[in-house]
Amino acid sequence: MKPVNLGILGLGTVGGGTVNVLSRNAHEITRRAGRDIRILQAAARDLGRQRICDTSNIDLTEDPHAVVDNPDIDVVIELIGGDTLAKELVLRALDNGKHVVTANKALIAVHGNEIFAKASDKGVIVAFEAAVAGGIPIIKALREGLSGNQIEWLAGIINGTGNYILTGMRDRGADFETMLAQAQQLGYAEADPAFDVEGVDAAHKLTILAAIAFGIPLQFDKCYQEGITQITQDDVVYAEELGYRIKHLGIAKRRERGIELRVHPTLIPERRLIANVDDVMNAVLVKGDAVGSTLYYGAGAGADATASAVVADIVDVVRVLTVDPENRVPHLAFQADALSNLPILPMEEVETAYYLRMHAVDRPGVLADTTRILADHGISIEAIIQKKASPGSEQVPVIMLTHRTVEGNMNQAIAAIESLESIQGSVKRIRLEHLNR
């Protein structure tokens, strides 16, 4: 049978890893796919750059358009990142009747609805397993393995950089800035780390997971994003004392009124498996009505780990090249005409528990005033810790854990507490999830 020809856009870390995996495991891949797979052409910005892969048998070009316009190429592998040039090239490849495999979470999260519509119109496939959680096959699990379930919620550590920073703050007693500098030195964080530490990267990935889990259109612009830059060593220590760990989670939940879609620092019980996922590793916890809770763990980045997912997508595409388009697995798991119009809930309607930290003047009645305000807003308290004042200070740190309440109520309560003369500065709020229902 005629080999399937690939064209690769981008020969960086993931592109080089993909070439290596395809070469190293060529025999096994052919056995699984049923056809030989070969890289015919690849585009890279700098052809003279030293690479992690052997490109001696690949036609190299600096023009990515030459790849997507090459009539001999069957599948285009987009690994250049971003959502501008990448979008143009992917749409052009689809117009040319080529299947596409991509590791580009921003492209899918922001432009996926348009791209999938174009692919369906042209009768071709866009595969994107590597766009979320590196080598963890979470998209395949949600789209196929759990297709008999109604997904109730999912929660994931889906950004390795943020997880590395929070792990170091806990295990080494370092502050945020120190751990960020280490992450940059080790190559885990970019010179401009905002996408990682402010939650944008995780929001891209969560948007994709939620669309597949709940059968809704991709809606990145409605995903709440909060980073980890304001997490302090005190917060990490106090959380540990209370039996919790702080993780930067992406959380999506199905509610009667709509879908919660949010990325933020979260306290989770230290006994939960996902609370013990450390350093740059990723994990996604999924709750289905039939299967219960399932956890998917592994490397969220890296040349071979991400290439593993890219090559798996290539094999899937090759397997179904001759299948009628209407009989293929839908891009977002549900048939395109059956997507739900459930709205994304505003953050004010989200319901969760809370960790609150404040500095109060050390005198009688202060705690009573604070608890009264919470009670007035229908918020009950699970635990209170009052720490000792620092030498020479009249202020004491007060830490509270609350039971579940609506975010809008908590916003009002925090505003009222901050207006008290006895409360100094702002109230620190970190959301808390038990992940058991």
Beta bridge mates, 76: 7, 100
Looking up tokens 């891009």, which residue turns up? 331
Exposure string for 292-318, b = 16+ CB within 10 A, e = fewer: ebeebbbbbbbbbbbbbbbbbbbbbbb
* Surface-to-core class of residue 262, CB atoms within 10 Å of its CB (0-12 exposed, 13-18 middle, 19+ buried): buried
Q: How far apart are CA 347 and CA 367, in angstroms?
A: 28
Q: How far apart are CA 8 and CA 77, in angstroms?
A: 5
For 396-435, where are the alpha helices, taking DSSP H only?
407-418
For 242-376, where are the alpha helices, taking DSSP H only?
303-319, 366-376
Give the phi and the psi of residue 290 in degrees, each rounded to 5. Answer: -95, -45
Question: What token pair was written down for 22?
Answer: 């395809």
Cβ neighbour number for residue 55 with a 10 Å cutoff: 17
Whether 129 contacts 139, CB under 8 Å: yes
Active site residues: 205
Q: How far apart are CA 179 and CA 43, in angstroms?
A: 35
Q: How far apart are CA 303 and CA 264, in angstroms?
A: 27
SS (HEC) of 243-276 = CEEEEEEEEEEECCCCEEEEEEEEEEECCCHHHH
Q: How far apart are CA 181 and CA 168, in angstroms?
A: 11
